[in-house]
């Protein structure tokens, strides 16, 4: 079985990461920002798997790290959404530019 070139996968995940950056920068809604961050982490995971497949002599190394990333990302999403809910209960908004309690 022959694979597509490594650089194609890298450019694909670069585009995915850039889309995530764009979403993180322009979204007003905190949930939208969290979703965009998930896209970026996903792109990083694709890179880990691709590198471990193409260049590493021990292909399970990159997969183990991708597993750790997925687990940590799940905890991050859970805690982040809990913070969003707590914020919504107190301030009745989850738009980032309306949460300016610390802004003078």
Report the site for other proteins in 42-71 (rule: CB under 8 A). Answer: 42, 45-46, 49-50, 52-61, 63-64, 66-68, 70-71
Site string for other proteins, 7-26 (x = CB under 8 A): xxxxxx-xxx-xxxxxx-xx
With respect to other proteins, which residue has the nearer C-beta, 4 or 102?
4
Query: CA 53 to CA 48: how far, in whole Å?
Result: 9
* Least distance CB 101 / other proteins (angstroms): 17
Query: CA 66 to CA 72: how far, in whole Å?
Result: 10
Query: CA 60 to CA 64: how far, in whole Å?
Result: 6
Q: What is the CA radius of gyration of the chain?
A: 18
* Least distance CB 42 / other proteins (angstroms): 6
Token pair of 97 as six digits: 């530019």
Query: CA 27 to CA 86: how far, in whole Å?
Result: 20
* Least distance CB 103 / other proteins (angstroms): 15
User: By CB under 8 A, what part of segment 84-103 binds other proteins?
Assistant: 84-86, 88-89, 93-97
């Amino acid at each position: 079985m022959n694979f597509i070139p490594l650089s194609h996968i890298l450019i694909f995940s670069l585009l995915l990461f850039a889309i995530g950056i764009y979403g993180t920068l322009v979204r007003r809604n905190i949930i939208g920002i969290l979703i965009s961050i998930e896209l970026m982490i996903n792109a990083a995971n694709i890179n880990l798997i691709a590198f471990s497949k193409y260049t590493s002599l021990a292909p399970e190394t990159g997969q183990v790290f991708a597993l750790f990333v997925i687990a940590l990302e799940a905890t991050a999403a859970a805690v982040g959404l809990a913070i969003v809910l707590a914020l919504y209960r107190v301030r009745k908004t989850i738009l980032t530019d309306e949460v300016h309690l610390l802004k003078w």
